[in-house]
Structure 1
Amino acid sequence: MARVFVYGTLKKGQPNYKHMINTAKGLAKFQGRGHTVEKYPLVIAGKYNIPYMLNIPGTGHHIAGEIYSVDEQMLQFLDEFEGCPDMYQRTLMRIQVVEWEGKGGAGEARAAADGVLECFVYSTATFPPEWVGLPYYDSYDSSGKHGLSYVLRESRE
Protein backbone atom coordinates (compact mmCIF):
# COMPACT_ATOMS: atom_id res chain seq x y z
CA MET A 1 0.00 0.00 0.00
CA ALA A 2 1.15 3.53 -0.79
CA ARG A 3 0.18 6.69 1.04
CA VAL A 4 -1.39 9.48 -1.04
CA PHE A 5 -2.30 13.02 0.04
CA VAL A 6 -5.20 14.59 -1.90
CA TYR A 7 -5.97 18.31 -1.67
CA GLY A 8 -8.42 18.98 -4.52
CA THR A 9 -11.34 17.37 -6.33
CA LEU A 10 -10.62 13.88 -4.90
CA LYS A 11 -11.36 14.87 -1.28
CA LYS A 12 -14.59 13.85 0.47
CA GLY A 13 -17.48 16.03 -0.68
CA GLN A 14 -15.66 17.16 -3.83
CA PRO A 15 -16.59 16.41 -7.48
CA ASN A 16 -14.16 13.50 -8.08
CA TYR A 17 -14.38 11.80 -4.67
CA LYS A 18 -16.53 9.10 -6.37
CA HIS A 19 -13.29 7.71 -7.88
CA MET A 20 -11.72 7.23 -4.46
CA ILE A 21 -14.58 4.95 -3.34
CA ASN A 22 -14.96 3.05 -6.65
CA THR A 23 -13.39 -0.33 -5.80
CA ALA A 24 -13.35 -1.25 -9.51
CA LYS A 25 -10.49 1.27 -9.77
CA GLY A 26 -8.66 -0.17 -6.76
CA LEU A 27 -8.69 0.34 -3.01
CA ALA A 28 -8.34 3.68 -1.23
CA LYS A 29 -8.70 3.78 2.54
CA PHE A 30 -9.16 7.15 4.27
CA GLN A 31 -6.51 7.48 6.99
CA GLY A 32 -6.81 11.05 8.20
CA ARG A 33 -6.34 14.74 7.51
CA GLY A 34 -3.22 16.81 7.33
CA HIS A 35 -1.41 19.65 5.63
CA THR A 36 1.85 20.08 3.79
CA VAL A 37 4.85 20.77 6.02
CA GLU A 38 6.24 23.13 3.38
CA LYS A 39 4.22 26.00 1.95
CA TYR A 40 3.07 25.71 -1.68
CA PRO A 41 0.87 27.80 -3.98
CA LEU A 42 -2.53 26.16 -4.53
CA VAL A 43 -4.25 27.85 -7.47
CA ILE A 44 -7.44 27.29 -9.45
CA ALA A 45 -6.61 27.61 -13.13
CA GLY A 46 -7.68 26.98 -16.70
CA LYS A 47 -11.10 27.06 -18.29
CA TYR A 48 -12.20 24.02 -16.23
CA ASN A 49 -11.23 25.57 -12.86
CA ILE A 50 -8.81 22.79 -11.92
CA PRO A 51 -6.95 23.03 -8.58
CA TYR A 52 -3.18 22.82 -9.00
CA MET A 53 -0.50 22.68 -6.34
CA LEU A 54 2.47 24.40 -7.96
CA ASN A 55 5.75 22.76 -7.00
CA ILE A 56 7.31 25.95 -5.63
CA PRO A 57 8.24 25.02 -2.03
CA GLY A 58 8.33 27.90 0.44
CA THR A 59 5.72 29.99 -1.41
CA GLY A 60 1.99 30.11 -0.60
CA HIS A 61 0.32 28.21 2.23
CA HIS A 62 0.40 24.93 4.13
CA ILE A 63 -2.12 23.05 1.94
CA ALA A 64 -4.86 21.10 3.75
CA GLY A 65 -5.99 17.71 2.49
CA GLU A 66 -6.71 14.06 3.18
CA ILE A 67 -4.39 11.07 3.56
CA TYR A 68 -5.30 7.73 1.96
CA SER A 69 -3.66 4.32 1.80
CA VAL A 70 -4.06 3.04 -1.75
CA ASP A 71 -3.22 -0.23 -3.46
CA GLU A 72 -1.15 -0.51 -6.65
CA GLN A 73 -4.27 -0.59 -8.86
CA MET A 74 -5.62 2.67 -7.37
CA LEU A 75 -2.20 4.31 -7.60
CA GLN A 76 -2.08 3.39 -11.29
CA PHE A 77 -5.60 4.79 -11.78
CA LEU A 78 -4.64 8.02 -9.99
CA ASP A 79 -1.52 8.40 -12.15
CA GLU A 80 -3.70 8.09 -15.25
CA PHE A 81 -6.47 10.31 -13.83
CA GLU A 82 -3.99 13.02 -12.87
CA GLY A 83 -2.24 12.94 -16.25
CA CYS A 84 1.02 11.87 -14.62
CA PRO A 85 3.75 12.66 -15.56
CA ASP A 86 2.65 15.32 -18.09
CA MET A 87 -0.01 17.42 -16.30
CA TYR A 88 0.92 16.49 -12.72
CA GLN A 89 4.00 14.84 -11.28
CA ARG A 90 3.71 12.38 -8.37
CA THR A 91 6.32 13.20 -5.76
CA LEU A 92 6.87 12.41 -2.10
CA MET A 93 6.10 15.30 0.24
CA ARG A 94 6.12 15.66 3.99
CA ILE A 95 2.59 15.90 5.43
CA GLN A 96 1.81 17.01 8.98
CA VAL A 97 -0.94 14.79 10.39
CA VAL A 98 -3.74 16.81 12.00
CA GLU A 99 -6.31 14.05 12.55
CA TRP A 100 -5.76 10.28 12.25
CA GLU A 101 -8.34 7.54 11.77
CA GLY A 102 -6.07 4.90 10.28
CA LYS A 103 -5.70 1.44 11.75
CA GLY A 104 -3.19 1.48 14.54
CA GLY A 105 -4.78 4.77 15.59
CA ALA A 106 -2.58 7.78 16.11
CA GLY A 107 0.27 5.40 16.92
CA GLU A 108 1.37 5.15 13.30
CA ALA A 109 1.13 8.90 12.85
CA ARG A 110 2.98 9.47 16.14
CA ALA A 111 5.62 6.95 15.13
CA ALA A 112 6.61 9.36 12.39
CA ALA A 113 8.78 12.22 13.62
CA ASP A 114 6.44 14.85 15.08
CA GLY A 115 3.43 13.32 13.32
CA VAL A 116 4.96 13.93 9.89
CA LEU A 117 4.40 11.30 7.17
CA GLU A 118 5.77 11.01 3.66
CA CYS A 119 2.95 10.81 1.14
CA PHE A 120 2.70 10.86 -2.61
CA VAL A 121 1.24 14.16 -3.82
CA TYR A 122 0.22 15.21 -7.33
CA SER A 123 1.65 18.66 -7.98
CA THR A 124 3.00 20.34 -11.07
CA ALA A 125 6.34 21.89 -11.94
CA THR A 126 5.16 22.61 -15.50
CA PHE A 127 2.67 25.47 -15.68
CA PRO A 128 2.16 28.81 -17.44
CA PRO A 129 4.16 31.53 -15.64
CA GLU A 130 1.03 33.67 -15.11
CA TRP A 131 -0.37 31.00 -12.71
CA VAL A 132 2.11 32.23 -10.09
CA GLY A 133 0.11 35.49 -10.03
CA LEU A 134 -3.25 33.78 -9.33
CA PRO A 135 -4.76 33.81 -5.80
CA TYR A 136 -3.30 31.16 -3.48
CA TYR A 137 -5.56 28.97 -1.32
CA ASP A 138 -4.75 26.87 1.74
CA SER A 139 -7.74 24.57 1.24
CA TYR A 140 -9.75 23.64 -1.85
CA ASP A 141 -13.53 23.50 -2.15
CA SER A 142 -15.11 23.39 -5.61
CA SER A 143 -18.08 25.39 -4.35
CA GLY A 144 -16.00 27.84 -2.31
CA LYS A 145 -16.52 31.59 -2.22
CA HIS A 146 -13.96 31.97 -5.07
CA GLY A 147 -16.88 31.16 -7.43
CA LEU A 148 -14.68 28.92 -9.62
CA SER A 149 -16.67 25.68 -9.75
CA TYR A 150 -14.77 22.70 -11.13
CA VAL A 151 -15.99 21.45 -14.51
CA LEU A 152 -16.30 17.64 -14.56
CA ARG A 153 -14.55 15.86 -17.44
CA GLU A 154 -17.85 14.52 -18.74
CA SER A 155 -19.20 18.11 -18.94
CA ARG A 156 -16.24 19.54 -20.88
CA GLU A 157 -16.41 20.45 -24.54
Structure 2
Amino acid sequence: MSMSSICGVLSQAAGRSDLSGMQIKIKTSLHTSAVGLVAFILPAVQMTHIFVYGTLKRGQPNYPRMLDPANGKASFCGRASTIDKYPLVIAGKYSIPFLLNIPGQGHHVQGEVYSVDDQMLAFLDRFESVPDMYQRTPVKLKVEEWVDGAGCGQTPGSTMEAFVYSTTTYQPDWVELSAYENYDAYGDHGLEYVIRESRDD
Protein backbone atom coordinates (compact mmCIF):
# COMPACT_ATOMS: atom_id res chain seq x y z
CA MET A 1 0.00 0.00 0.00
CA SER A 2 1.34 3.46 -0.91
CA MET A 3 1.86 6.24 1.62
CA SER A 4 -1.01 8.29 0.12
CA SER A 5 -3.37 5.31 0.42
CA ILE A 6 -2.45 4.84 4.08
CA CYS A 7 -3.07 8.50 4.81
CA GLY A 8 -6.39 8.35 2.94
CA VAL A 9 -7.59 5.41 4.99
CA LEU A 10 -6.70 7.20 8.20
CA SER A 11 -8.57 10.31 7.10
CA GLN A 12 -11.73 8.38 6.25
CA ALA A 13 -11.61 6.45 9.51
CA ALA A 14 -11.29 9.60 11.56
CA GLY A 15 -13.93 11.49 9.52
CA ARG A 16 -11.82 14.61 9.57
CA SER A 17 -10.09 16.73 6.94
CA ASP A 18 -7.36 18.31 9.08
CA LEU A 19 -4.86 15.44 9.07
CA SER A 20 -2.28 17.10 6.82
CA GLY A 21 0.20 17.38 9.68
CA MET A 22 -0.29 13.72 10.54
CA GLN A 23 0.16 12.82 6.88
CA ILE A 24 3.47 14.62 6.80
CA LYS A 25 4.64 12.77 9.90
CA ILE A 26 3.47 9.43 8.50
CA LYS A 27 5.18 10.07 5.17
CA THR A 28 8.39 11.05 6.89
CA SER A 29 8.29 7.95 9.06
CA LEU A 30 7.55 5.68 6.12
CA HIS A 31 10.32 7.27 4.06
CA THR A 32 12.81 6.74 6.87
CA SER A 33 11.68 3.14 7.28
CA ALA A 34 11.99 2.55 3.55
CA VAL A 35 15.57 3.84 3.54
CA GLY A 36 16.40 1.58 6.45
CA LEU A 37 14.76 -1.36 4.70
CA VAL A 38 16.81 -0.77 1.55
CA ALA A 39 20.01 -0.57 3.61
CA PHE A 40 19.02 -3.81 5.34
CA ILE A 41 18.23 -5.65 2.10
CA LEU A 42 21.30 -4.55 0.12
CA PRO A 43 24.30 -6.80 0.81
CA ALA A 44 27.28 -5.20 2.53
CA VAL A 45 30.28 -4.61 0.29
CA GLN A 46 32.90 -7.26 0.98
CA MET A 47 36.27 -5.71 1.82
CA THR A 48 39.57 -7.60 2.04
CA HIS A 49 42.89 -6.61 3.61
CA ILE A 50 45.85 -6.70 1.22
CA PHE A 51 49.49 -6.24 2.24
CA VAL A 52 51.62 -4.66 -0.49
CA TYR A 53 55.41 -4.47 -0.26
CA GLY A 54 56.56 -3.48 -3.76
CA THR A 55 55.56 -1.28 -6.66
CA LEU A 56 51.96 -0.82 -5.46
CA LYS A 57 53.01 1.17 -2.38
CA ARG A 58 52.55 4.92 -2.20
CA GLY A 59 55.20 6.74 -4.21
CA GLN A 60 56.06 3.63 -6.24
CA PRO A 61 55.55 3.10 -10.00
CA ASN A 62 52.28 1.16 -9.84
CA TYR A 63 50.60 3.05 -7.01
CA PRO A 64 48.28 4.91 -9.46
CA ARG A 65 46.63 1.57 -10.18
CA MET A 66 45.44 1.51 -6.57
CA LEU A 67 43.82 4.91 -7.06
CA ASP A 68 42.06 4.17 -10.36
CA PRO A 69 38.31 3.73 -9.66
CA ALA A 70 38.03 1.68 -12.85
CA ASN A 71 40.00 -1.02 -11.03
CA GLY A 72 37.80 -0.91 -7.93
CA LYS A 73 38.12 0.60 -4.48
CA ALA A 74 41.23 0.58 -2.30
CA SER A 75 41.52 2.43 1.02
CA PHE A 76 44.91 2.95 2.66
CA CYS A 77 44.83 1.58 6.22
CA GLY A 78 48.40 1.96 7.41
CA ARG A 79 51.87 0.46 7.58
CA ALA A 80 52.79 -2.99 8.83
CA SER A 81 55.60 -5.53 8.79
CA THR A 82 55.57 -9.30 8.50
CA ILE A 83 55.78 -11.20 11.77
CA ASP A 84 57.80 -13.93 10.09
CA LYS A 85 60.92 -13.16 8.10
CA TYR A 86 60.78 -13.52 4.31
CA PRO A 87 63.28 -12.92 1.49
CA LEU A 88 62.18 -9.86 -0.50
CA VAL A 89 64.33 -9.89 -3.65
CA ILE A 90 64.57 -7.94 -6.89
CA ALA A 91 64.78 -10.39 -9.77
CA GLY A 92 64.51 -10.92 -13.52
CA LYS A 93 65.41 -8.67 -16.42
CA TYR A 94 62.68 -6.21 -15.41
CA SER A 95 63.91 -5.92 -11.80
CA ILE A 96 60.60 -6.98 -10.27
CA PRO A 97 60.25 -7.25 -6.48
CA PHE A 98 59.26 -10.73 -5.29
CA LEU A 99 58.44 -11.93 -1.81
CA LEU A 100 59.67 -15.51 -1.78
CA ASN A 101 57.39 -17.72 0.27
CA ILE A 102 60.21 -19.02 2.47
CA PRO A 103 59.30 -18.17 6.08
CA GLY A 104 62.25 -17.76 8.42
CA GLN A 105 64.68 -16.31 5.89
CA GLY A 106 65.36 -12.70 4.99
CA HIS A 107 63.77 -9.84 6.95
CA HIS A 108 60.59 -8.69 8.61
CA VAL A 109 59.32 -7.08 5.42
CA GLN A 110 57.77 -3.63 5.64
CA GLY A 111 54.78 -2.63 3.57
CA GLU A 112 51.32 -1.10 3.49
CA VAL A 113 47.86 -2.47 4.21
CA TYR A 114 44.86 -1.63 2.07
CA SER A 115 41.21 -2.51 2.38
CA VAL A 116 39.97 -3.43 -1.11
CA ASP A 117 36.63 -4.42 -2.56
CA ASP A 118 36.00 -7.51 -4.67
CA GLN A 119 36.52 -5.61 -7.93
CA MET A 120 39.95 -4.35 -6.88
CA LEU A 121 40.86 -7.78 -5.53
CA ALA A 122 40.02 -9.36 -8.89
CA PHE A 123 42.07 -6.67 -10.66
CA LEU A 124 45.07 -7.28 -8.41
CA ASP A 125 44.86 -11.02 -9.02
CA ARG A 126 45.06 -10.34 -12.76
CA PHE A 127 47.75 -7.70 -12.38
CA GLU A 128 49.91 -10.04 -10.30
CA SER A 129 49.36 -12.91 -12.75
CA VAL A 130 47.91 -15.24 -10.13
CA PRO A 131 48.66 -18.12 -9.88
CA ASP A 132 51.54 -18.34 -12.38
CA MET A 133 53.81 -15.51 -11.22
CA TYR A 134 52.45 -14.84 -7.73
CA GLN A 135 50.11 -16.63 -5.38
CA ARG A 136 47.74 -14.78 -3.05
CA THR A 137 48.39 -16.22 0.40
CA PRO A 138 47.60 -15.13 3.99
CA VAL A 139 50.35 -13.49 6.01
CA LYS A 140 50.52 -12.41 9.65
CA LEU A 141 51.46 -8.79 10.26
CA LYS A 142 52.42 -6.43 13.04
CA VAL A 143 50.69 -3.07 12.66
CA GLU A 144 53.21 -0.21 12.73
CA GLU A 145 51.02 2.78 11.93
CA TRP A 146 47.28 3.06 11.36
CA VAL A 147 44.98 5.69 9.89
CA ASP A 148 42.32 6.91 12.32
CA GLY A 149 38.85 6.50 10.88
CA ALA A 150 40.01 4.32 8.01
CA GLY A 151 37.51 1.66 9.06
CA CYS A 152 40.18 -1.02 9.01
CA GLY A 153 39.75 -1.99 12.64
CA GLN A 154 43.34 -2.18 13.90
CA THR A 155 45.65 -0.25 16.21
CA PRO A 156 49.45 0.20 16.23
CA GLY A 157 51.20 -2.71 17.93
CA SER A 158 48.39 -5.16 17.24
CA THR A 159 48.66 -8.19 14.99
CA MET A 160 46.47 -8.98 12.03
CA GLU A 161 46.22 -11.18 8.98
CA ALA A 162 46.02 -10.03 5.38
CA PHE A 163 46.59 -11.42 1.92
CA VAL A 164 49.95 -10.93 0.22
CA TYR A 165 51.17 -11.69 -3.28
CA SER A 166 54.16 -13.93 -2.64
CA THR A 167 55.64 -16.61 -4.87
CA THR A 168 56.71 -20.23 -4.77
CA THR A 169 57.39 -20.27 -8.53
CA TYR A 170 60.79 -18.59 -8.35
CA GLN A 171 64.06 -19.49 -10.02
CA PRO A 172 66.41 -21.55 -7.79
CA ASP A 173 69.15 -18.90 -7.84
CA TRP A 174 66.79 -16.20 -6.52
CA VAL A 175 67.35 -17.43 -2.97
CA GLU A 176 70.96 -16.23 -3.31
CA LEU A 177 69.94 -12.67 -4.21
CA SER A 178 70.15 -9.77 -1.78
CA ALA A 179 67.10 -9.58 0.47
CA TYR A 180 65.50 -6.24 1.35
CA GLU A 181 63.50 -5.14 4.34
CA ASN A 182 61.78 -2.23 2.62
CA TYR A 183 61.52 -2.06 -1.18
CA ASP A 184 61.98 1.20 -3.05
CA ALA A 185 62.02 1.18 -6.84
CA TYR A 186 64.16 4.33 -6.73
CA GLY A 187 66.57 3.09 -4.06
CA ASP A 188 70.35 2.84 -4.21
CA HIS A 189 70.31 -0.82 -5.28
CA GLY A 190 70.76 0.35 -8.90
CA LEU A 191 68.12 -2.06 -10.27
CA GLU A 192 65.68 -0.12 -12.42
CA TYR A 193 62.13 -1.45 -12.37
CA VAL A 194 60.58 -1.70 -15.84
CA ILE A 195 56.86 -0.97 -16.00
CA ARG A 196 54.67 -3.38 -17.96
CA GLU A 197 54.02 -0.96 -20.79
CA SER A 198 57.77 -0.84 -21.52
CA ARG A 199 58.43 -4.58 -21.50
CA ASP A 200 59.12 -6.52 -24.67
CA ASP A 201 57.09 -9.63 -23.84
TM-score by length of 1: 0.94
Correspondences of 1:64-143 after superposition (within 5 Å): 64-103=110-149, 108-110=153-155, 115-143=158-186
- Cα deviation, 1:28-61, whole Å, max 9, x if unaligned, reads 0000001001000000000000000000000000
SS in 2 for 1:32: strand
- RCO higher in structure (CA 8 A, sep ≥6): 1
CA distance, structure 2, for counterparts of residue 121 and residue 102 of structure 1: 23
2:100 corresponds in structure 1 to 54
Q: Which 5+ residue runs of structure 1 have no aligned equivalent?
A: none
Q: Which residue number in structure 2 is paired with residue 147 of structure 1? A: 190
Contact residue 61 and residue 185 of structure 2 kept, 8 A: yes
Q: Which residue number corresponds to residue 25 of structure 2?
A: none
Runs of 4+ in 1 over 3 A off after TM superposition: none
Helix, strand or coil at the partner of 2:136: strand
Q: Deviations over 1:107-151 (max 9, x none)?
A: x214x9x51111000000111110000000001000100011110
Q: In the alignment, is the contact (CA less than 8 A) between 2:87 and 2:102 conserved in 1?
A: yes
Structure whose CA Rg is larger? 2
1:32–1:102 Cα contact (<8 Å) kept: no
Give how far 1:103 is off. Answer: 2.4
Q: Which amino acid aligns with 1:53?
A: L
Larger strand proportion of the pair: 1
Identity %: 58
Distance, in Å, in 2 between the alignment partners of 1:133 and 1:62 is: 18
Q: TM-score, normalised by structure 2?
A: 0.74
Q: Say what the alpha-carbon RMSD is for the aligned residues.
A: 1.5
CA distance in structure 1 between the partners assigned to 2:65 and 2:97 by the alignment: 17
